[in-house]
């Protein structure tokens, strides 16, 4: 369709707006709407070409033929124009963005001749109104304003031509009214539903998985990093071309600036600094120095919101100016952050003792609104994220069971933050976690990390001296396997696996290729521990989430003879328990009571017995304590203290001694296990960049046996054989692929 023909002095009318072309003004119901010259030129070109899909190149070429203006400037002008025309997110009453194609002005436009005062016009008859139809089928009506000179002394009768015109006009108005009534009475056609489109964008190997990713505002590019290199990759989503940028250190790309030429990066190596990087020359500029954990750029690119220390929300300018706190968190903290489409509010995940929730607040940190409360917003792997789409949907992840989480969406008013409507599921990936959703500015494209853990058991010989610890993979299959204990003769391993759809307990000889099923059925069975008396302790639960569901009332501690037989329920609820390995050793069970970790004797046939000792503890998670082979001492570590220290609790006299780990260079100890000699330990240490398997002697001297880069995997569940010759452990490998979703 060609541009509309313009005559000098004409006006363009659309909706409640009118453009005076000669005066270069836009009016809304008579009031002038202020626009700068560039934005007015964009509006005028769009209105003169209604219904046409205008490519960005055409707009740039025709509006600014003699000036260098990039697509970002055009996008900014469109954004300003939308606000001037009072378009709300998702409204598109006037301007529609067509991803990959350009823009389209969709409102009906009328070409109106300006009013001419009667004194200038005299008794000349007005121009007869004519209709013009564009090639796209849109009707543009040309109107004239009828004027005549009528004195108070004489009123001339209407001519036959004028009377005919008025009659035809009345008939036309009546016909239009009838058509509108009939259209309103016609049943609405059901909205066409689109099938969700999913496409995998990355395919890194498991040993070098995706670290972090972000999609550009126009939805054309994906920026991502991996775990083993300092490179940043820019992927052109439609063509598949990838550009590699070498950076001086490891950074996490967390968001794009609206200009499409700069990225917001987070440097975990420097304690959470925020940086701005040019995608043209890879130049870096520090914006903020501190401990940021999540960050996002505002829709207009003028502000950056970020989470500090997982506790507070801060706001600063796009160049790092005037950083200030706007919201303080509570003990458990704030995770993830996203801007509303209008840039008026922030959404975030808040974890409280009373439950987890998606909340929003305004930019002054005013009273928050709760959009959704759901305890399963928690992700065991710690990868959080939310996205706020232009249609007011907030996209988030919900854990359905261990190793699985789905993408959901719920509407929240972008001005008030209040929920509207029920939550709906967007995507479900069986045996995968859907993490860190992020959308393009138009809400047409959404990316999310498709994450899963490959869990295998490794065994290594404990040959010290000049020989290194070189473990080999024990379970060659791809099932989720985790080591729990050795048999008393050190010839086989007890482990749990999800290979049958539920957790079950298996035993496998170290020279065998396949395991023997010990305990399986309609429930989940985990955490097998043999007692010195030949009884096998284990946990059972009916929850689909297995041992991840702490609140499941069906959780219970059970026992059965190692060779098979009747099962006995010892205790209800979830408990931590350990057994010594010597013939006369005992079993111990731990429970939290009033911020005390209480240790009691555990009879493998009768249940809990005499209380042995207690220690103060605000929180307790798995693997933070272990029982010595003789059953008389406990080794305890507290990761919240962020120091290398093992506390030894002697059960006979309840005395506690502290053993500092020498040459401490890690951040915390999240696991401790006694060695078979009862004089040393195996421990896991976290450094911020890796997880290390340590051997610690009786004097606190550590030795690194095995190390895994943080983010690419983990080592856990250290199980030394009773004869002290071997060590089994569980190795996690994190596998992450970035998925693109459309038509959601």
List, for residues 664-706, the tens digit of each pLDDT value: 998 888 899 999 999 999 999 988 778 999 999 999 999 999 9
* Of 245, 293, 290, nearest in space to 270 by CA: 290
Within a domain: 177: no
How many domains does the chain contain in total?
A: 2
Within a domain: 333: no
Identify the pLDDT of residue 4.
59
Identify the pLDDT of residue 402.
62
* Of 147, 111, 104, nearest in space to 18 by CA: 111
Residues 6+ apart with CB under 8 A from 281: none
The residue segments making up the domain with residue 679 are 453-736
Within a domain: 93: yes
Q: Is the pLDDT score of 185 beyond 60?
A: no
Residues 6+ apart with CB under 8 A from 353: 330, 331, 332
Last residue within a domain, chosen from 147, 177, 208:
147
- pLDDT interval class at 120 (50, 70, 90): very low
CA distance 614 to 590: 9
- For residue 542, give both structure tokens: 């009916």
Identify the pLDDT of residue 464.
61
- pLDDT interval class at 636 (50, 70, 90): very high
Identify the pLDDT of residue 72.
64
Within a domain: 291: no
Q: Is the pLDDT score of 524 beyond 80?
A: yes
CA distance 331 to 619: 12
- pLDDT interval class at 5 (50, 70, 90): low
**3-class SS at 210?**
strand
Q: Is the pLDDT score of 200 beyond 90?
A: yes
Last residue within a domain, chosen from 120, 147, 174:
147
CA distance 56 to 108: 22
* Of 602, 598, 626, nearest in space to 614 by CA: 598
For residues 25-34, average pLDDT: 89
**pLDDT tens column, 55-71:** 888 888 888 775 555 56
Identify the pLDDT of residue 181.
43
- pLDDT interval class at 454 (50, 70, 90): confident
Say how many Å lie between the first and final Cα of the chain, rounded. Answer: 32
Within a domain: 727: yes
Q: How many CB atoms lie within 10 A of CB 516?
A: 11
What is the enclosing helix (H) or strand (E) of 569? strand 568-572
* Of 587, 674, 584, nearest in space to 626 by CA: 674
Q: What is the dihedral of CA 407, 411, 415, 416, to 10 degrees?
A: -110
**3-class SS at 396?**
strand
Question: What percent of the chain shows pLDDT beyond 90?
Answer: 51
CB 726 within 8 A of CB 462: yes
CA distance 242 to 56: 23
* Backbone phi and psi for residue 221, each to the nearest 5 degrees, phi listed first: -130, 150
Within a domain: 585: yes
CA-only gyration radius of the chain, Å: 35
Last residue within a domain, chosen from 102, 126, 147:
147
Identify the pLDDT of residue 126.
35
CATH number at residue 572: 2.120.10.30
Within a domain: 54: yes
Identify the pLDDT of residue 153.
36
- pLDDT interval class at 382 (50, 70, 90): low
Within a domain: 224: no
For residues 504-522, average pLDDT: 93
Tell me the pLDDT of the chain averaged across its residues: 83
**pLDDT tens column, 267-294:** 977 668 999 999 988 999 999 998 899 9
CA distance 421 to 409: 10
């Amino acid at each position: 369709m060609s541009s509309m023909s313009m005559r000098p002095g004409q006006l363009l009318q659309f909706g409640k707006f009118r453009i005076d072309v000669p005066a270069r003004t836009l009016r809304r119901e008579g009031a002038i709407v202020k626009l700068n010259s560039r934005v007015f030129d964009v509006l005028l070109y769009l209105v003169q070409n209604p219904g046409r899909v205008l490519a960005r190149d055409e707009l740039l070429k025709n509006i600014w033929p003699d000036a260098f203006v990039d697509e970002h400037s055009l996008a900014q002008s469109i954004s300003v124009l939308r606000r001037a025309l009072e378009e709300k997110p998702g409204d598109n009453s006037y301007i529609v963005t067509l991803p990959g194609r350009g823009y389209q002005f969709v409102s009906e436009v009328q070409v109106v001749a300006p009013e001419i005062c009667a004194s200038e016009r005299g008794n000349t008859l007005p121009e007869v109104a004519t209709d013009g139809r564009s090639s796209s089928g849109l009707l543009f009506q040309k109107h004239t304003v009828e004027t005549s000179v009528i004195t108070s002394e004489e009123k001339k009768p209407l001519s036959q031509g004028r009377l005919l015109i008025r009659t035809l006009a009345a008939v036309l108005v009546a016909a239009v009214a009838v058509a509108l009534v009939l259209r309103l009475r016609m049943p609405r056609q059901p909205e066409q539903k689109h099938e969700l489109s999913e496409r995998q964008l990355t395919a890194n190997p498991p040993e070098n998985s995706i670290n972090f990713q972000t999609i550009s505002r126009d939805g054309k590019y994906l920026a991502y990093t991996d775990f083993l290199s300092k490179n940043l990759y820019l992927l052109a989503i439609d063509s598949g071309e990838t550009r590699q940028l070498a950076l001086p250190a490891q950074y996490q790309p967390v968001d794009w600036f609206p200009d499409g030429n700069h990225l917001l990066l987070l440097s975990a190596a420097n304690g959470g600094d925020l940086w701005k990087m040019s995608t043209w020359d890879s130049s870096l500029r520090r914006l903020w120095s501190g401990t940021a954990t999540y960050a996002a750029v505002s829709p207009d690119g003028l502000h950056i919101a970020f989470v500090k220390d997982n506790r507070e929300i801060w706001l600063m300018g796009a160049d790092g100016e005037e950083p200030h706190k706007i919201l303080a968190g509570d003990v458990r903290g704030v995770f993830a952050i996203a801007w509303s489409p209008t840039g008026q509010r922030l959404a975030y995940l808040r974890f409280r003792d009373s439950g987890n929730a998606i909340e929003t607040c305004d930019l002054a940190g005013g009273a928050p609104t709760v959009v959704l409360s759901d305890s399963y917003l928690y992700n065991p792997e710690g990868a959080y994220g939310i996205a706020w789409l232009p249609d007011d949907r907030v996209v988030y992840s919900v854990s359905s069971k261990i190793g699985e989480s789905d993408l959901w969406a719920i509407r929240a008013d972008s001005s008030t933050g209040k929920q509207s409507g029920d939550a709906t599921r967007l995507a479900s990936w069986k045996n995968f976690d859907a993490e860190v959703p992020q959308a393009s500015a138009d809400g047409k494209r959404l990316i999310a990390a498709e994450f899963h853990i490959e869990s295998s058991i490794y065994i290594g010989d404990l040959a010290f001296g000049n020989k290194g610890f070189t473990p080999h993979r024990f379970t060659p299959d791809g099932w989720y396997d985790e080591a729990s204990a050795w048999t008393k003769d050190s010839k086989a391993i007890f482990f749990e696996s999800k290979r049958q759809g539920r957790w079950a307990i298996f035993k496998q000889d170290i020279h065998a290729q396949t395991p023997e099923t010990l305990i399986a059925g309609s429930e989940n069975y985990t955490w097998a521990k043999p007692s010195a008396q030949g009884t096998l302790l284990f946990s059972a639960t009916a929850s689909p989430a297995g041992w991840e569901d702490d609140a499941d009332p069906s959780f219970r501690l059970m026992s059965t003879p190692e060779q098979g037989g009747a099962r006995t329920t010892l205790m209800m609820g979830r408990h931590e328990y350990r057994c010594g390995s010597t013939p006369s050793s005992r079993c111990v069970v731990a429970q939290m009571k009033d911020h005390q970790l209480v240790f009691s004797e555990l009879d493998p046939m009768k249940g809990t017995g005499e209380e042995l000792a207690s220690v103060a503890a605000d929180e307790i998670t798995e693997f933070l304590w272990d029982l010595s082979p003789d059953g008389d001492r406990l080794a305890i570590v507290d990761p919240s203290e962020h120091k290398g220290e093992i506390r030894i609790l002697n059960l006979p006299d309840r005395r506690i001694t502290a053993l500092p780990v020498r040459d401490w260079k890690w951040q915390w100890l999240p696991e401790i296990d006694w060695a078979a000699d009862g004089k040393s330990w195996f421990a896991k240490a976290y450094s911020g960049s890796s997880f290390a398997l340590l051997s610690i002697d009786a004097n606190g001297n550590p030795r690194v046996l095995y190390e895994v880069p943080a983010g690419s995997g983990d080592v856990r569940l250290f199980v030394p054989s009773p004869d002290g010759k071997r060590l089994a452990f569980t190795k996690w490998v994190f596998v992450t692929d970035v998925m693109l979703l459309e038509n959601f």
